[in-house]
Chain A
Amino acid sequence: MDFNSTLIGQTIAMIVFVWFTMKYIWPALDAAITERQEKIAEGLAAADRSQHDLELAQKSAAETMREAKEKAAELLDQAKKRHAEIVDSAKDDARTEAEKIKAGAQAEIEQEVHRAREDLRKQVSVLAVAGAEKILQRSIDASAQADILDSLVAEL
């Protein structure tokens, strides 16, 4: 264990090396590492955020889908209801129309009947008068008994 100037030389070398490391090596590498760490942290945070965004988007898509389905169902319901209404109103219309036609036909029939009865009445009265004329030609003047005939006609 001999000590000599090597000790001093080595000490100087060490001081220089430590100084150089402190000045030119450590700060640059440490800064690079720190900055990269920050970048990675940011990247991870961004990934998390986009994951979250994706979940939100999926949720809202599902929501929209559900709403659309509900709307479609509603529309279908409305259409069915409307259809039923149309069918009902058509039925009603048809029924009233039919009744109208029936009423018209009945009125016509009644008129016909009336007219026929009128005709019949006239013919019967004419026939009665003719019959009576024929009977009375043999006995009396027809004109003298006209009022009696009229009253007969009115009774028919």
Chain B
Amino acid sequence: MAETSTGYIKHHLQNLQACSTEQGWQFNTAENPTLCSGSRLDAVNVDSLFFSILLGVIFLWIFRSAAKKATTGVPGKFQAFIELVIDFVDTNVRDTFHGKNKMIAPLGLTIFVWVYLMNLMDLIPVDWIPSLAHAAGIPFLKIVPSTDVNVTFAMSISVFILIIFYSLKIKGVKGFSKELLLNPFNHWAAIPVNLILEGAALLAKPISLSLRLFGNMYAGELIYILIALMGLYQLPLHFGWSLLHVLVTFLQAFIFMMLTVVYLSLAHEDH
């Protein structure tokens, strides 16, 4: 374990990574934590992927078991809870999205529950699982996948691709081009300006979507780590910050879902 505060913080913010080196695939180690750092295709954040997929599978397993046992009669408490979540998502999607698309609601549900579960990992005290991992010989472990920019960008880029796909599908190449080129100034001479403005607006969607989630969760995690450095005083602070974070985790998941639905709704609107 790192001894200094800086070392402690750095250690907690370091992903467990694997990458291909001259000696084949290797994990980064306590001695060489930056072995796999940098933006590169032949490296992967093992902990982020592991926890996000684990949480995704837990989500699917819970909801699938509810779906299998779903009765149209009087629901049990478990089913009622799952239906509450479904209904929450469904209501929000219905209020926002008026087109016909069978994918939007399941997409919203997946994003909402998955992001929420990933955010909830933030509430586990910062040293518990990394300490266990350390005892098991794993040098680094970041357990909150949504503090990994790769994870949030993967989701927002998927949404972005869907935005482009549905924009082209609903409006056609012509309609979508028109929207990009003749808005907000409807004159041929203004096409370059329009392209810059509309292009920026379009690109801002996935970037803001992922950075909002990443920034909130990363900052929250960082504050947890700072609080964990304070000795005995951390207890009330940790409690207070956790109370706030119960709200933040939910809110960020909700915002991610809602904005996804809103963006896709805009992509479906033909002017």
Contact = CB atoms under 8 A, between A and B. Distances in A.
Nearest to B19: A4
A21 B60 contact: yes
Interface stretch (A8-16, A68-76, A92-100, A146-154): A8-16
A1 B37 CA distance: 10
Given A3-B39, A21-B109, A36-B75, A14 B90 contact: no
Contacts of A7: 150-151, 153-154, 157
Interface stretch (B46-54, B163-171, B223-231, B238-246): B46-54
Given A18-B106, A26-B106, A10 B49 contact: yes
A2 B214 CA distance: 13
Interface of A is mostly: helix
Contacts of A143: none
Interface residues of B, number: 53
B83 to A, nearest CB: 6
Nearest to B44: A5
Interface stretch (B61-69, B124-132, B187-195, B196-204): B61-69
Contact of A10 (B17, B48, B106): B48
B154 A36 contact: no
Contacts of B114: 14, 17
Interface of B: 17, 19, 36-45, 48-49, 52-53, 56, 59-60, 63-64, 66-68, 70-73, 75, 79, 82-83, 86-87, 90, 102-103, 105-107, 109-110, 114, 145, 148-151, 153-155, 157-158
12 contacts: A2-B149, A4-B150, A6-B148, A10-B151, A10-B155, A18-B103, A18-B110, A21-B106, A21-B107, A26-B109, A28-B67, A32-B79
Interface of A: 1-11, 13-15, 17-18, 20-22, 24-26, 28-33, 35-36, 39
